[in-house]
Structures are given as C-alpha cells and as structure tokens.
Amino acid sequence: MRGILIVLMLLCTACGSVDRVVVLQHLQTKQTVECRVDPWGSLDRTAQIDACIAAYKKAGYVIVGDSHASLL
C-alpha cells in the first residue's frame, strides 16, 4: 500500500510542471508561435519543449520569450 502511494505522489509531481511557454518569431514573416508542454504527451517535459523549439528554429524562427528565463 505504501509503495502505491509513493508511485502516485511521483506521478502527480510530474504532471504539475506544464507551465513553461516559449514564444518564437519568424524573422522574415514576423509570425509568432508558442511551444507548450502537452500534459497528455510524454512525461519528459523538457524533451517536449526542446523538440518543439528545435523544429521551429530549423524553419527560421528565433526565441523571443521564455516563461522560464531568469529575470535579471
């Protein structure tokens, strides 16, 4: 019973980190897009965001905003 409780707590912790948003803009068209974590997708949230960013960068987009960027 205790093992099940620990597994459920770990799963709930992984589900809570879906708040990162990265905004990218195409330099020529000025079109903007957002990369967000899909809560129903892979549990590797960082890989989801990184794959999205990489795909848009390959298409000519650059990052113009990141909700997890440190504020100086």
Look up the pTM and report it: 0.69
Model confidence band, residue 68 (pLDDT cutoffs 50, 70, 90): confident
For residue 40, report the phi and psi dihedrals to the nearest 5 degrees. -100, 0
Whether 71 is covered by a domain: the verdict is: no
Write down the pLDDT at residue 70: 66
CA–CA gap between residue 50 and residue 58 (Å, rounded): 12
Whether 25 is covered by a domain: the verdict is: yes
Secondary structure letter of residue 43 according to DSSP: S
> Based on the structure, what is the number of domains in the chain?
1
Whether 20 is covered by a domain: the verdict is: yes
Whether 24 is covered by a domain: the verdict is: yes
The total of other beta-carbon atoms located within 10 Å of residue 5's CB is 9
Per-residue pLDDT, averaged over 56-65, amounts to: 97
Domain enclosing residue 11, as ranges? 2-66
